[in-house]
Structure 1
Amino acid sequence: MTTHPLRFGIWALVHGSRAAHQDPEEPYDASWERNRDLVLAAEQLGYDSTLVAQHTINPHQEDLDQLEAWSSAAALAALTSRIEIIAAIKPYLYHPVVLAKMALQIENVSRGRFAINLVNAWNRPELDRAGIGFPEHDARYAYGREWISVVSGLMRGERVTYKGAHFDVRDYALRPRDLYRQRPMIYVGGESEPARALVADHGDVWFINGQPLDDVAGLIADVAARPRSSAPLRFGLSAFVIARETDEQAQAAYERLLNLAAKDAPMKAIQKQNTDPQVVMMQTMQKTPRVGSNGGTAAGLVGSYDDVAARIRAFHAAGIELFMLQFQPFEAEMERFAREVIPRVRRLQSPPLASTFGELAEAPPGQR
């Protein structure tokens, strides 16, 4: 079992509904206003974290709205007071010097609550149509490895000189440095072998896509056993939750969303066509019927309040510290989960653990 406190987060609705786009209970809305209100409500309900995924164009259908991640993360940093804000980043879209400067600024605006989520891209048109190109899978990870090496050093306040195949950074330092801790947290997504090697070397937390407990335990065992020069790796899991008073009610709600999701078949066909077939996430998501993105309901958090709470505790016992959750309709189900499930999970904890996220490093001298 992980010794880190159990935390709950929410996916921001950067491209609308997570399960089905034609749901009368949740009309399509990826606006800044909705996302602002959603995260503020999550903070009030006691959620610990939010993940703002990064896309420049909508990955499902190009004429649909798409929230911009980094400007939104900066605004959320100023508006919130407690919740962790994680902004995803695709390395090809930002030079590491520029991105590290942005990350440090948002970290200081948030007073030490910011993190980046390194994702090495899967949506081909996003890069191809920009003239950047879309290298093959392992080449993207090689680029990402160089990129995060530069970003991590700069976020730590180091004076960085780096010469590699992709970057030539000379005697570069950023000020002000992080005023609250050593640097912002680094989350890494991806489950291929290059992704596992990358997170073992450079990540603080590995985001795993939703899948059954035994599969997640195997992934954790593999990466946790790899040598590291820093603190032990921590683990997060994406999951779509459908919790009700009874299993029968939860199953009925699941079937409703599954039927609605079937109407998105043309959109999903476009997404599949635009996706690199080597991306392990997409291979995993084809294994079982599910709703939601990034594995969705494959994690098994569908059932009665008590059963869902018990399954969450089982994942925590296997090493999962942070659950990044999806719901639909999002606002109502997010509130239901906070009211009905989180208290049950806390009661199952022995001894109970407080929720916190700021454990990367001590604050710099003078800020302790």
Structure 2
Amino acid sequence: MRFGIWALVHGSRGTFHDPEEPFDASWDRNRRLVLEAESLGFDSTLIAQHTANPYDDDWDELEAWTASAALAALTQRIEIITAVKPPLYHPVILAKMAQQIEHVSGGRFGINLVNAWNRAEYEKAGIDFAEHDERYAYGQEWIAVVDALLRGERVFHRGRHFQIDGFQIRPSDSFRARPSIYVGGESQPAQELVARHGDVWFINGQSLENVARLIANARSLPRRGEPLGFGLSAFVIARPTAAEAEDAFNRLVALSAQDAEIRARQRANTDPAVVMKHSQVPQNRPTIGTNGGTAAGLVGSYDQVAERMRAFHAAGIELFMLQFQPFEAEMRRFAAELMPRLR
């Protein structure tokens, strides 16, 4: 069982109107956050990629790939996982960048391949935003090229989108076969992509039953090489008692009511074909956090949350990518109370 944190690339992960966590998506905050997470024993950090803040483009947004290179140089142990949207980078350029960060980190780097959901981010920049399945078809070809390049192969490729004529990356990876490849998305094209090229599939926060079903389906798909690993995104609210946790949850729910206009704008910019937007919200209960957030059910007493995490682990989840609010204080609480129970 491994524990990771979502970097605060566009500020708070729960509500944007929390007096205990003023908006701050700066490099300085994220640097301090990841360094502290490493010192507390967290294993990974996930740095989402957006070229503009997906909630309000007047707000700050951390640039993922330059920040990851810097974090790779500053840290000693924690894994750096950086999201990438394939249409934003030619596969040769991205593979070269990824290989460099792998060397800077000493073999601690991972790519998180994601299918974009924020239409406005593309269209305002004049970048084509293809339909859902076409984006995955593009991603399949893109990651096939990146995968081969990261393995040090001399790549000859003739495809619909790319023509590569004997390109090879040097230096090759001296730490392992290649950096790790994580894949997000829950549609059938996403599952087929991760089965072919991914090492770990990131699943959005949702019920144990749904997660077990998704894992079983992914394991049934044709695959070569090592067995597929699984990660889960989740927002944690843990307290000494379940009643205290519920009070903390209700505080964030009440504050999030002030985010209504922001969330409406986000929904308007979201591709309705994205499966995540249909699967992550349980009935009759609000959620806090992104990528499913509290829909994973990690709200309760320390012992209750630990038991639920053990159940997800038994179903196949190896890496928990966690969110908190206020982030730093609750991250410390998790390290002090949950890590000893789970390790």
Q: Compute the TM-score of the two structures, normalised by the length of structure 2.
A: 0.99
Q: Does 1:335 align with 2:309?
A: no
Asked if structure 1 preserves the Cα contact closer than 8 Å seen for 2:281 and 2:295, the reply is no
For residue 130 of structure 1, report the CA deviation from its aligned partner: 1.7
1:307 aligns to 2:289 (yes or no): no
Task: Give the secondary-structure state (helix, strand or coil) at the position aligned to 2:21.
Answer: coil
CA distance in 2, matches of 1:47, 1:287: 28
The corresponding residue for 1:14 is 9
The one-letter code of the counterpart of 1:343 is: P
Q: CA deviation at 1:197?
A: 0.7
Give per-residue Cα distances to partners, 1:227-270, cap 9 Å, x unaligned.
Answer: 10111100000000000000000000000001111110100111
Q: Which moved more, 1:122-131 or 1:107-116?
A: 122-131
RMSD value, Cα: 0.6
Structure 2 unaligned blocks of 5 or more = none
Letter matched to residue 48 of structure 2: A
What is the distance in 2 between the residues matched to 1:208 and 1:245?
28
Cα displacement (A) at 1:286 = 3.9
Partner of 2:180: 185
5 Å-filtered alignment, 1:310-325, equals 310-325=307-322
CA contact (8 A) 2:49 2:63 kept: yes
Aligned to 1:92: 87
Query: How many residues were matched structurally?
Result: 341
Deviations 1:72-130 (A, max 9, x none): 00000000000000000000000000000000000000000000000011110111122
Q: Secondary structure at the match of 1:263?
A: helix
What pairs up with 1:146-295 in 2 under 5 angstroms? Answer: 146-288=141-283, 289-295=286-292
Contact 2:206 2:282 in 1 (8 A): no
Confirm or deny that 1:120 pairs with 2:120. Answer: no
How far, CA to CA, are the matches of 1:285 and 1:261 in structure 2?
17
Counting only pairs closer than 5 Å after superposition, residues 70-85 of structure 1 correspond to structure 2 as 70-85=65-80
Tell me the residue number matched to 1:362: none
Tell me the residue number matched to 2:50: 55
Amino acid at match of 2:306: A
1:142 paired residue among 130, 133, 137: 137
Distance in 2, Cα, partners of 1:92 & 1:125: 14
Q: Distance in 2 between matches of 1:30 and 1:12?
A: 9
Q: How many angstroms apart in 2 are the aligned matches of 1:17 and 1:243?
A: 18
Which residue identity does 2:58 align to in structure 1?
D
Distance of 1:212 and 1:260 partners within structure 2? 24
Once the two structures are superposed, what CA deviation does each residue of 1:184-232 show, in whole Å capped at 9, x if it has no partner? 0000000011101111111000000000101000000000111101111
Q: Which consecutive segments of 4 or more residues in structure 1 shift more than 2 A? A: 285-288
Alpha-carbon distance in structure 2 between the residues aligned to 1:191 and 1:162: 28
Q: What is the rounded CA distance, in whole Å, between the counterparts of 2:140 and 2:121 in structure 1?
A: 20
Inter-partner Cα distance in structure 1 for 2:28 and 2:174: 29
5 Å matches for 1:351-366?
A: none
Question: What's the secondary structure of 1:264's corresponding residue?
Answer: helix
Gaps of 5+ in 1: 1-5, 347-368
